[in-house]
Amino acid sequence: AGTATPSNAEVVEHDTSHVFHSWSAQAKLAPVAIRTGRGVMVEDYDGNEYLDLSSMLVNVNIGHQHPRVVEAIQRQAAELTTVAPAHANATRARAAELILDHAPEGFNKVFFTNGGADANENAIRMARLHTGRDKVLTTYRSYHGNTGAAIVATGDWRRVPNEYATGHVHFFGPYTYRSEFWAENEQQEGERALRHLERVIQSEGPESIAAILLETIPGTAGIMVPPPGYLAGVRELADRYGIILILDEVMAGFGRAGEWFAFDAFNVRPDLITFAKGVNSGYVPLGGVIISDEIAAAFDERVFPGGLTYSGHPLACASAAASIEAMEDEGIIENARRVGEEVIGPGLRSLAERFDVIGEVRGRGVFWAVEFVADAETREPVSAEFMGALKKAVLERGALPFTSENRLHFVPPCVITDDEARRGISIVADALAAVTA
Ligand code: PLP
């Protein structure tokens, strides 16, 4: 009692009695209690340690409790903990400048938000105001956030009970393993997905379409790395029909895909870029829109009708600036790319050879999906029971998994070492051996 550390059971009981949890039936919660963390490791209240293969919600790219980021927050807290967005502040300006250092030429403004959903919300608004058009095209296999337009832009099941915003149209993006286009290879999939998108644009009426909003690499929906040429083809369609291209880099950006921005690997230039998560690893909530000069200029004389009390919050901006500087100095993006190519990719592919239940392994950087199938021929997904057992088996062996539908996403922090990555893969292997025995 008193100041003693509570047990896992006490924390879970206390939490679930009073905290209303996201995306959950409240009587069926079974959270893992987390007390602290360091790098790729987290620790519960009973003193058990776990290798964090989830990066929490795929956002702790720099690892837990990075000393430079923690110290920057402490320093900023001692100087100024909050400031109205209308005032100028050096920390906010520095964060914007560092973010823009990694954006393509022709991007010189950042609008800060509190997270990814409101980043997409405001990017959609900018595209609508800039074009004078209404519709926003997004894919069925996507997640863009849980606010008015962002949740309706989202394609997955979470959109359906929340469909109150108007002007949203969905289409199918490329997914070679489960092709909607009877494609037999990546190239066909990319070409046919582009043909499908063009038909949707034509059928909706190009003059009514403000934006195409895409996750550069769809994340929660299954980490489908786009086929070569697909994103360049979307850019070409957007240009041909006068449509704004918004790339959602909330999950894929800031090292996750082994690049500062995932689109750096695909020879494509968006008009608006949305970010959150990895920009400061969520140490303090932060997101934003990186705005091309052309769209920014539209608001030089005209008032932008949008804002947030915490836009450019100094604690968030201090953590972003420190995080980007640490990523630069410590080669964290390069590490993510290399460990993906040399250790995670080959390691997970060798698991696929060993276990028939693995249908496909795909990804890059520290952004990998392992898709499980009950039947290799029909590609029928494994059951929810299988995924539940796998999740439990991974946890019991000392790692925190991220699972979605019939997939395990292998998404550790970008700072993971080769040995830690091998350990993570061997935990998944042991767990799979146990659940398939
Ligand atoms: N966009 C993408 C691609 C995401 O993965 C997420 C969150 O998972 C969001 C937007 C929403 O971000 P937030 O939860 O910070 O609002």
- Tell me the DSSP string of 43-73: E-TTS-EEEESSHHHHT-TT-BT-HHHHHHH
List beta partners, residue 37.
42
Answer yes or no: is pLDDT of 196 > 70: yes
The secondary element (H helix, E strand) that includes residue 199 is helix 186-204
Side-chain half-sphere CA neighbours of 194 within 13 A: 18
DSSP state of 308: -
Please, what is the average pLDDT of the chain?
A: 98
pLDDT by residue (tens digit) across 271-310? 999 999 999 999 999 999 999 999 999 999 999 999 999 9
Measured between alpha carbons, how far is 233 from 228 in angstroms, rounded to an integer?
A: 9
List the alpha helices (DSSP H) in 330-379. 332-339, 345-354
The answer to whether the beta carbons of residues 271 and 295 sit under 8 Å apart is yes
pLDDT by residue (tens digit) across 385-435? 999 999 999 999 999 999 999 999 999 999 999 999 999 999 999 999 999
Termini Cα distance of the chain: 43
What separation in Å is there between the alpha carbon of 72 and the centre of ligand 1? 25
- Residue with the smallest CA separation from ligand 1 atom 1 is 144
**With a 6 A CB cut-off, is 371 part of the ligand 1 pocket?**
no
Supply the pTM of this predicted model: 0.98
Q: Tell me the average pLDDT across 92-117.
A: 98
ipTM over 0.90: yes
- Residue with the smallest CA separation from ligand 1 atom 13 is 116
Measured between alpha carbons, how far is 428 from 351 in angstroms, rounded to an integer?
A: 9
**With a 6 A CB cut-off, is 145 part of the ligand 1 pocket?**
yes
**With a 6 A CB cut-off, is 286 part of the ligand 1 pocket?**
no
Task: Using pLDDT thresholds of 50, 70 and 90, give the confidence band for residue 81.
Answer: very high
What separation in Å is there between the alpha carbon of 150 and the centre of ligand 1? 9
What separation in Å is there between the alpha carbon of 148 and the centre of ligand 1? 13
**With a 6 A CB cut-off, is 115 part of the ligand 1 pocket?**
yes
The answer to whether the beta carbons of residues 143 and 154 sit under 8 Å apart is yes
Q: Tell me the average pLDDT across 172-177.
A: 98
Task: Using pLDDT thresholds of 50, 70 and 90, give the confidence band for residue 4.
Answer: confident
Strands 244-248 and 209-215: parallel
**With a 6 A CB cut-off, is 153 part of the ligand 1 pocket?**
no
* 3 state SS for 212-265: EEEECCCCCCCCCCCCCCHHHHHHHHHHHCCCEEEEECCCCCCCCCCCCCHHHH
* Full set of structural domains in the chain with CATH: 8-65+331-436 (3.90.1150.10), 68-329 (3.40.640.10)
Atom index in ligand 1 nearest the CA of residue 215 equals: 3
Q: Tell me the average pLDDT across 224-243.
A: 98
Percent of the chain scored above 90 by pLDDT?
Answer: 99
The answer to whether the beta carbons of residues 291 and 130 sit under 8 Å apart is no
- Residue with the smallest CA separation from ligand 1 atom 7 is 145
